[in-house]
Amino acid sequence: METTYGSIRGASGKIAYVFEYAGGVFELMGRALKLVVRGKMAGAMERKAIIEQIESIAIRSLSIVVLTAIFSSMVMTVQFAVQLARFGAKEYVGNVVSLSLVRELGPVLTALMVGGRVGAGISAELGSMNVTEQIDALRSMGADPIQKLVVPRILATTLMLPLLTTLANALGVAGAMLTARLDSGVHLSYFYHSILQAVTVQDFVGGLIKTLLFGFVLSAIACYQGLITRGGTQGVGRSTTQTVVITSVVTLISDFVFTKVLLEFGM
């Protein structure tokens, strides 16, 4: 009986922590969004910080995003070509791969890579500043840590994720086209025209809208995780690991939600 009661208390404590964590993230997102809407990031120092974060995020993520997009699309092309050949429809591999890449794989894989790579970096940076009391020093000088540290990182990630996704889509399609030509004998021009037939503007725009939402949510989680970091260098390590796990799970869950909402609006 005592064991059952302890298990219930432990489960209820974990559920309460999840709701508390989600509430903290949403509060941080609301404060950051309010600062942006009110034009609080118009100063030269804030613009410089945003540009620095954009450059940092692009450099950090570019190589892994490119490699992920190219090789995932190549694997998809090989798999779909084999399976479609069973039904005599191998020539439709371009339609299937391009549509899958633009609507789902491009946005989701890019978000997972950026959430793991950049999110961990943001969490480590802010966590280190937190445990060394640099954030408390900012508050003591009358500065707002959300405005100085959080908003530039959220804006930079939100702006860069659609651009990285666009690059991933383009390179992924190119890799799929080359693989289809070399491995399955699908002519390049036929593959290209099948993409034009299968992928619409709504498909492309819908994928980019999801990446905007992914960027906003994932960067807010990484920033919040850094701000609540405690326990010195060990705490920073734990916080970084938790950021990777949480952003990955949230990406997969939110992808389902965003996809359902966008489909309701015809995108």
The pLDDT assigned to 39 comes to: 67
**Calpha distance 65→112 (Å, rounded):** 9
**Calpha distance 54→33 (Å, rounded):** 18
The pLDDT assigned to 3 comes to: 53
Look up residue 187 and give its two tokens. Answer: 């002519």
**Calpha distance 165→96 (Å, rounded):** 18
Nearest one of 63, 163, 175, 45 to 107, comparing CA atoms? 163
The answer to whether 96 touches 133, Cβ cutoff 8 Å, is: no
**Calpha distance 214→164 (Å, rounded):** 12
Instruction: Tokens 């633009």: give the residue.
Output: 102
**Calpha distance 120→245 (Å, rounded):** 10
**Calpha distance 233→245 (Å, rounded):** 19
The pLDDT assigned to 99 comes to: 87
Contacts of 1 (CB under 8 A, 6+ apart): none
The pLDDT assigned to 2 comes to: 47
The pLDDT assigned to 222 comes to: 92
- For the chain, the maximum distance between any two Cα atoms, rounded to a whole number of angstroms, is 70
The pLDDT assigned to 214 comes to: 92
What predicted TM-score, i.e. pTM, was given to this entire model?
A: 0.86
Nearest one of 160, 158, 179 to 168, comparing CA atoms? 160
Torsion angle, alpha carbons of 133, 135, 140, 144, to 10: -170
Nearest one of 221, 239, 222 to 230, comparing CA atoms? 239
Q: How far is CA 222 from CA 134, 164, 255, in A?
A: 18, 19, 18
The answer to whether 151 touches 48, Cβ cutoff 8 Å, is: no
Q: What is the pLDDT along the chain (267 residues), one digit of tens a residue?
A: 445 545 555 567 778 888 888 888 899 889 888 888 876 555 555 677 788 888 888 777 888 888 888 898 899 888 888 888 787 777 788 888 888 888 888 899 999 988 888 888 889 888 888 888 888 888 888 788 888 888 889 998 998 899 999 999 999 999 988 988 888 778 888 888 888 888 888 888 888 899 999 999 999 999 999 988 888 778 888 888 899 999 999 999 999 988 888 888 877
Q: How far is CA 216 from CA 44, 120, 150, 243, in A?
A: 23, 15, 11, 14
